[in-house]
Structure 1
Amino acid sequence: MLRRFHIPFLMACAVLSASPAALADDAQQRRDGVDPTQPVGTNPITKFETVYLGQQVANNSCSHRDLGFTGELQGKWYAVFGDTLWCAQPLTDPSQDNASEFHGMVRDSLSLTTDDPLLVVDLHLNDDSPVRHQQQFVPFNASWGEDNTYGFGGTSLVETANGAGAVFYLVNANSAGLKGAGVAKVELVSGVPTVTKRFGAQGYWWPASSTPRYGDVAAFRDPRSEYIYAWGGAPTSVTDFTGAQYVYLLRVRAADAYDLAKYEYWWGAADGGWKTGEPLTQFGAENAVMWFVGQGQFVWSEFWGVYVFVHLSPGGSDVLLRTATALEGPWTPDVKVYTATPIDGGLTYAGVAHPYLDASGRTLTISFTNNNHIEVIKVTFSK
């Protein structure tokens, strides 16, 4: 059976192979040098209350899935899920399904969010009866050598211009490895966000072997500027533990999201900052913005007046928040707001923010994957 989770490939391997002592030694060595990815300052999030809300399900289909990164398009918010395994017919409650049995799947899917964080409306459904199931959101292309087993885990729908949007994704060829990170154009077709074009000669712009996997960590439409930002892990050619955990950053004006030449790459403050059309050719602390983080989402908090990054500890179960006044960083230390209990010993990962539920920022609803269950918590802040 296909693997049922999606986390950055090199990160997953490193987490499973590195001992706590090795992590501590590495962190100490990095603190002793000049490293802009290290925590700076004090996190203002010190007083909060966290409540567990429950598990998220759909009201019109039935499946097990992961991710669910949220994004806005023309005033509505949507969730982009990763591996989506259909439940047996005629079930409408995934808790009643035998998860050890395989009934079909797609490698990503799209849902409409609602005012209830525990309920989504699945889109792009097929004609299965009596319960319809999700179809693929980012389509595979056989002419590029892809098939229905290829993964396209996406990290957030981002609005571009003229009512359209984009989704960043990582092409995962399974045993053949990661191919590259790409961008797809998303337009409303009969009122439903639909991928209408994938860019790049092979369906991606940034080859995984030579460039960061932009968008695989996070993608974000900054409400305070005209830019879209995307974060990605190191190229697959970087194999040492420390180097493989650095995270790199690009940005592009939302109106230029379909033009690769307009993308700007963060080379580090000491090496010229943003450079248009000049992808990174050197990889290390001085060019990175973070180190050893899980997939997550960024929000601008009106309550705190800072950006907040929501993620889970790599290989762990802690839901973490760090803050910064600029998306390039530096970032404060993480604050733990919740510790999940792994379901049946499975993986917990992918911090997802739902900022549309409270524009004031005094509360932040967060979901995450727990062994192919989407669990939801609500954090209430105070000063």
Structure 2
Amino acid sequence: MTILPPNPITVTSSTLLGDVHSTNTYVVRDNGFNGQIGDQTLLTYGDTLYKDSSYSDTFYGIVSNSVAQPTSNPLQVFDLLLNSQGWPEQFCPVNAAWGEDNTDYAIGISNVMETSPGNGILFFLKNYRPNGVNNIIGAGVATVTLDGDVPSCTRLAEYWWDASTEPWYGDICCVKFGTYIYAYGHGPSQVYIYCCRVLTSNATDLSAYEYWNGSSWQTERLYDVTATESVFWEIQSGQVIWSKYYGCLMFVYLDRFLDNQVNAVTARYPQGPWSSPVILYKCPAGTPAGSIYGALPQDNYDPTGKTLVCVYTQIPNDIRAIEVTFT
């Protein structure tokens, strides 16, 4: 039986709300994945640069990831982990035992996904980037634990999937659907996106993961992947969420075509098939081509799903929020 994707979504309006800043520190950063453990929404970020109150170009420091929680205002977030100088700590840390330091190594992280009360996981990328040149080493899983409202993050291994021969599972995002967690990631060529899944109860067990081969799920890991096994292509960034308003999965994303627009597609199942894309927001005329990245939905503001806040990063590190209203 052929499975058809849902009808494409329709947009009534989209509005630029403004720049997103922290209420308790001065930083600029990128991304802004939306995750949840219980009633706690966790926003996870990439490179986080310390600034002064005037946001000058003076360099004070940087960490490759951080975590915050939203406020009722989409333009304001609250940083949860601060160091003794009052700047965000690195949430998913480097580990000296694996030859890592904050000078040459970065850890990129996905959204947090709940696995049990007070606990969750996220997916990470180990990146060796001396002088700012990226060399993706591998992808893996880290646990996230809440102590009250304060989260902590622990990597389960240096990495699980070798980035030179396997997809970078989770570097796009992860989503819970039924009893499984699904993770999406680029392949070594960075042209196609691949998907794996695991029972939520077994999310910390590498041997329990299954891999989409283009027609079915298999327990054998995928190597030397091609277009056949992929679920998306030419995606820069994005996150899959469940749209209560449309009653289906929705992937909000930015493609790699330098068109400065935030798109969305829908599907009934995590592996697709996916609908035709719809433009949620297009940057104003005059925006330099390819100057935005990190388009991500933040669906905690409207439980009905009729409106959706999304963020994107304007180069170099300015996160901006938009609000989309669906028909």
Give the TM-score taking structure 2 as reference length.
0.92
Q: Distance in 2 between matches of 1:136 and 1:73?
A: 19
Is the 1:245–1:292 Cα contact (8 Å) retained in structure 2?
Answer: yes
Q: Which runs of 5+ in 1 are unaligned?
A: 1-39, 239-243
Counterpart-to-counterpart distance in 1, 2:239 and 2:155: 23
Any idea what SS the aligned residue of 2:59 has? coil
Please report the TM-score for the alignment, with normalisation by the length of structure 1: 0.79
State the Cα RMSD in Å.
2.0
Q: CA deviation at 1:207?
A: 0.9
Spell out the pairing of 1:63-78 with structure 2 (5 A cutoff): 63-78=27-42
- C-alpha spacing 1:344/1:123, structure 2 compared with 1 (3 Å): farther
CA shift in 2, pair 1:346/1:288, >3 Å: closer
Which residue of 113, 135, 151 maps to 1:158? 113
What is the Cα deviation at residue 113 of structure 1? 1.2
- In structure 2, distance between residues paired with 1:198 and 1:41: 36
Within-5 A mapping of 1:27-46? 43-46=7-10
1:180 equivalenced with 2:138 (yes/no): yes
Measure how far apart 1:356 and its partner are: 1.6
Query: Which residue in the other structure is 1:86 paired with?
Result: 50
Which residue of the partner structure matches residue 184 of structure 2?
231
Corresponding residue for residue 25 of structure 2: 61
Question: Which residue of 10, 35, 55 corresponds with 1:97?
Answer: 55
What SS is found at the alignment partner of 1:255?
A: helix
Correspondence for 1:337:
280
Structure 2 SS opposite 1:124: coil
CA contact (8 A) 2:165 2:224 kept: no
The residue type paired with residue 61 of structure 2 is G
Superposition pairs of residues 298-309 of structure 1, within 5 angstroms: 298-309=240-251
Q: Specify the alignment match of 2:193 in structure 1.
A: 247
More strand by share: 2
Larger radius of gyration: 1
TM superposition shift of 1:186: 0.8
Partners of 1:292 and 1:344 lie apart in 2 by 20
Distance in 1 separating the partners of 2:51 and 2:288: 18
Structure with the bigger percentage of helix = 1
Q: Is the 8 A contact 1:346 1:370 kept in 2?
A: no
Query: Is the CA contact (8 Å cut-off) linking 1:80 and 1:156 kept in structure 2?
Result: yes
Contact 1:56–1:375 (CA<8 Å) still a contact in 2?
yes
Counterpart of 1:18 in structure 2 is none
Contact 1:168/1:183 (CA < 8 Å) preserved in 2?
Answer: yes
Rounded Cα–Cα distance in structure 2 between residues aligned with 1:188 and 1:84: 22
Query: 1:355 & 1:97 partners in 2: Cα distance?
Result: 28
For structure 2, list consecutive stretches of 5 or more residues without a partner in the other structure: none
* Alignment length (residue pairs): 318
2:162 is aligned with 1:207: yes
Instruction: Please list every run of at least 4 consecutive aligned residues from structure 1 whose deviation after the TM superposition is greater than 2 angstroms.
Output: 40-44, 340-347
